[in-house]
């Protein structure tokens, strides 16, 4: 298929792009490189650099090929930053998404696969989370993903577009060449591994008084390659659907740190802090629907395996990719002021 993929220089987008091309699909990637990295771009893809809010960028990308599908990864994805800068999130995740959708419609592209998030469920009372769990987001990031999901549902109905919503739980891990490198790193596993490499003095544990067995938050970590594989399967689907994308097993922050200590064969220094704003205590997926409908079976479900892959990548790239945004003054990024209040 000919596919337009937004955010193909980012973490999940770059891994998916490579897998798609390996499967014989032809890709055009749009990325503004505000969070992505040139080194993560697959050289086999056509590349248009720019913001989805720029009509010229969209026209340039869509003038290349009649696409069979769009995969929309580009967007802002940090919960604390979204609380600080909701306008950035509404702009990137809703306004730019709608511009993409309009251009898709004008050009008759029949399918979109959208990178949504478990954040659309907010703080559900019951676990595991199914697709029937009520959607009640509790922060601007989740709210903007939910808003775009709703737009997609109506567009799909009115304009005969197939819209497949993939609600990722906690993407983690790496391939041999592609890994996680954000301008401002807020995610647990990269920070734990940075602390193991002495790139950070310690890892913060945000909250030790949650209603969980060890008092720290529980998440469902899913290998980025398994997420990418779900996109390949979703391409075959002819009906609009939404799916949770997680392993179905939850690990606490302390369990993640213990797993990293085993994999890295060292003690990792920690600092216990107050809760971080917007963090639900437990987010664990039921992935029954995607397993039944798409036949998706995670090939790398073990947290230890996920951690080993991330550790291999982090050791090879202790400071991330070479072309980080911090080294590119042309790219402005609004950084969050995340503080650890003990």
Closest of 252, 256, 246, 251 to residue 298, by C-alpha = 246
Instruction: Select 185 or 305, whichever has its Cβ closest to ligand UFG.
Output: 185
Only one of the segments 61-69, 88-96, 201-209, 230-238 lies at the binding site for ligand UFG (rule: CB under 6 A); that segment is: 201-209
Give the one residue of 29, 71, 119, 228 binding ligand UFG; rule: CB under 6 A.
119
Task: Write the DSSP symbol of residue 22.
Answer: H
DSSP code string of 292-319: HHH----S---HHHHHHHHHHHHHH-TT
19 neighbors 229 (Cβ within 8 angstroms): yes
- Is residue 254 within the footprint of ligand UFG (CB under 6 A)? no
Q: Can you give 71-88 as a three-state secondary structure string?
A: EECCCCCCHHHHHHCHHH
- Is residue 118 within the footprint of ligand UFG (CB under 6 A)? yes
Only one of the segments 36-44, 53-61, 200-208, 316-324 lies at the binding site for ligand UFG (rule: CB under 6 A); that segment is: 200-208
Q: How many CA atoms lie within 13 A of 317 on its CB side?
A: 22
- Is residue 307 within the footprint of ligand UFG (CB under 6 A)? no
Give the one residue of 30, 77, 101, 230 binding ligand UFG; rule: CB under 6 A.
77
* Other CB atoms within 10 A of residue 328 CB: 15
- Is residue 205 within the footprint of ligand UFG (CB under 6 A)? yes
Taking the complex as a whole, the smallest distance from the CB of residue 63 to ligand UFG amounts, in Å, to 32
Note if 89 is an active site residue.
Answer: no
- Is residue 253 within the footprint of ligand UFG (CB under 6 A)? yes
Instruction: Select 8 or 25, whichever has its Cβ closest to ligand UFG.
Output: 8
132 neighbors 121 (Cβ within 8 angstroms): no
DSSP code string of 92-115: IIIIHHHHHHHHHHHTT--EEEEE
Instruction: Select 79 or 290, whichever has its Cβ closest to ligand UFG.
Output: 79
Q: Which of 141, 155, 206, 221 is catalytic?
A: 141
Pairing of strands 218-219, 251-252: antiparallel
- Is residue 141 within the footprint of ligand UFG (CB under 6 A)? yes
Give the residue numbers annotated as catalytic, written as ranges: 141
Which residues of this protein are in contact with ligand UFG, per CB under 6 A?
77, 79, 117-119, 141, 170, 186-188, 191, 203-206, 217, 219, 253, 276, 279, 283
């Amino acid at each position: 298929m000919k596919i337009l993929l937004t955010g193909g220089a980012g973490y999940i987008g770059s891994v998916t792009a490579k897998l798609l091309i390996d499967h014989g699909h032809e890709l055009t990637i749009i990325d503004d490189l505000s969070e992505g990295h040139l080194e993560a771009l697959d050289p086999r893809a056509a590349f248009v650099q720019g913001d989805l809010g720029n009509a010229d960028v969209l026209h340039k990308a869509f003038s290349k090929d009649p696409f069979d599908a769009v995969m929309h990864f580009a967007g802002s994805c940090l919960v604390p930053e979204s609380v600080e800068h909701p306008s950035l999130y509404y702009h990137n995740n809703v306004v730019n998404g709608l511009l993409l959708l309009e251009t898709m419609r004008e050009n008759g592209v029949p399918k979109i696969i959208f990178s949504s998030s478990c954040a659309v469920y907010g703080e559900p009372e019951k676990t595991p989370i199914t697709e029937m769990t009520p959607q009640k987001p509790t922060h601007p990031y989740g709210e903007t993903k939910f808003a775009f999901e709703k737009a997609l549902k109506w567009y799909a109905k009115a304009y005969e577009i197939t819209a497949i919503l993939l609600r990722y739980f906690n993407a983690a891990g790496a391939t041999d060449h592609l890994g996680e490198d954000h301008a401002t790193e807020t995610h647990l596993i990269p920070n734990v591994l940075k602390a193991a490499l002495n790139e950070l003095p310690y890892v913060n544990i945000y909250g030790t008084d949650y209603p969980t067995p060890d008092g720290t938050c529980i998440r469902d970590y899913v290998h980025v390659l398994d997420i990418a594989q779900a996109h390949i399967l979703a391409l075959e689907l002819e009906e609009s659907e939404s799916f949770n994308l997680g392993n179905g097993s939850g690990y606490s922050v302390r369990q993640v740190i213990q797993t990293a200590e085993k994999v890295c064969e060292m003690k990792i220094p920690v600092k216990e802090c107050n809760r971080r704003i917007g963090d639900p205590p437990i987010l664990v997926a039921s992935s029954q629907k995607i397993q039944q409908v798409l036949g998706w079976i995670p090939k790398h479900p073990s947290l230890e395996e996920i951690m080993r892959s991330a550790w291999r990548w982090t050791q090879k790239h202790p400071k991330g990719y070479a072309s980080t945004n911090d080294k590119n003054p042309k790219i402005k990024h609004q950084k969050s002021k995340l503080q650890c209040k003990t």
